[in-house]
A and B are shown apart, each in its own frame.
Chain A
């Protein structure tokens, strides 16, 4: 049940960064009108960050992970979240056994 000091600082920094985004809208309400391009860039932030986070595991680990990524991406648009995770995990286990 130990808490590392550096980890605690990182958690606090993440907490502050998150809370700032949650209340920042109060100060820009009615003033924040984004143009088409800026709106598109803003909408792209979450997926762009999430993709960058998984790219090493998904694309540079090996063929099993890369193929499992492709399969998961194909089912992700049709299945609910938990089913998508299940398909990804099962396919990576099978592919690792075969390849």
Chain B
């Protein structure tokens, strides 16, 4: 493995493979990054703040959620909690991926900053028949990182000139984007129950108690609903095994 890591030819072919695999995801992320920047500015953030957020957080779903509920001054703990909940999936992704990375422990602490849904999914697929090298992982992570940081900043700068996003229905673009993302998590019975319960609880809490409590209460209700809805299925699976 050390031999493989030090051979420049392998290094370049690994880097090229990473570039090839990440290209479609990077291209698809460009308009989404522009949109994020434009709406963030409309919500009252400065382009510098948008760029800084993308640079340090680098997590699309959590950033979209933060902007959608953005108020001034920013509710720090609420944002941190919502961010942690949305990104909690990274824990499982990192646990599954780290044994497959051909990296030392200290290198992993740097490499996993660049963990995203896309790089994780592509690396898990590659790990089926070979180890995931630092060159492969690094190219994918750095490409998506600069792609996201630059396009969101550019969107913020351009968005300042576009004016009120509600005029073109762009205020609804986030809602539509989220619906698309939610659909990507599956259409199983458990997922539908979780989504319906979360939506209902969040809407009611928003109506009768107010923001920002609807996020945590809706999310927790949806998660609890998934736990309860999955009960019978996991029991029957146990039964069929015995």
Q: Which residues of A contact B (CB under 8 A)?
A: 1-4, 6-26, 28-30, 32, 35-60, 65, 68-69, 72-73, 76-77, 79-82, 84-90, 92-93, 96
What are some 29 contacts across the A-B interface (CB < 8 A)?
A8-B52, A11-B49, A14-B62, A14-B79, A14-B80, A22-B112, A22-B113, A23-B112, A24-B95, A26-B94, A28-B95, A29-B95, A40-B227, A43-B226, A44-B227, A45-B86, A46-B86, A47-B182, A48-B195, A49-B65, A49-B219, A50-B182, A51-B178, A51-B195, A54-B174, A57-B174, A73-B183, A81-B28, A96-B169
Complex CA distance for A37 and B112, rounded to whole angstroms? 28
Main secondary structure on B side of the interface with A? helix
B144 beta carbon closer than 8 Å to chain A: no
Main secondary structure on A side of the interface with B? helix
Q: Which of A10, A28, A56, A68 contacts B76 (CB 8 A)?
A: A10
Question: Are B177 and A85 in contact, CB atoms less than 8 angstroms apart?
Answer: yes
Complex CA distance for A28 and B130, rounded to whole angstroms? 23
Task: Say whether, besides A48-B195, A65-B175, A85-B177, A7 and B74 are in contact (CB < 8 Å).
Answer: yes
Q: How far is the CB of B10 from chain A (nearest CB, A)?
A: 25
Q: Which of A9, A40, A45, A77 contacts B85 (CB 8 A)?
A: A45
Question: Are B109 and A54 in contact, CB atoms less than 8 angstroms apart?
Answer: no
Q: Which of A1, A14, A53 contacts B53 (CB 8 A)?
A: A14
Residue of A nearest to B238 (CB): A36
Complex CA distance for A28 and B94, rounded to whole angstroms? 9
Task: Say whether, besides A14-B57, A24-B91, A51-B222, A89 and B190 are in contact (CB < 8 Å).
Answer: no
A-B CB contacts (within 8 Å), total count: 324
Complex CA distance for A22 and B202, rounded to whole angstroms? 27
Question: Are B185 and A46 in contact, CB atoms less than 8 angstroms apart?
Answer: yes
B37 beta carbon closer than 8 Å to chain A: no
Complex CA distance for A96 and B166, rounded to whole angstroms? 11
Complex CA distance for A85 and B172, rounded to whole angstroms? 8
B135 beta carbon closer than 8 Å to chain A: no
Q: How far is the CB of A52 from chain B (nearest CB, A)?
A: 3
The 5 A-B pairs at the shortest CB distance, nearest first, are namely A25-B94, A88-B176, A36-B234, A52-B218, A48-B222
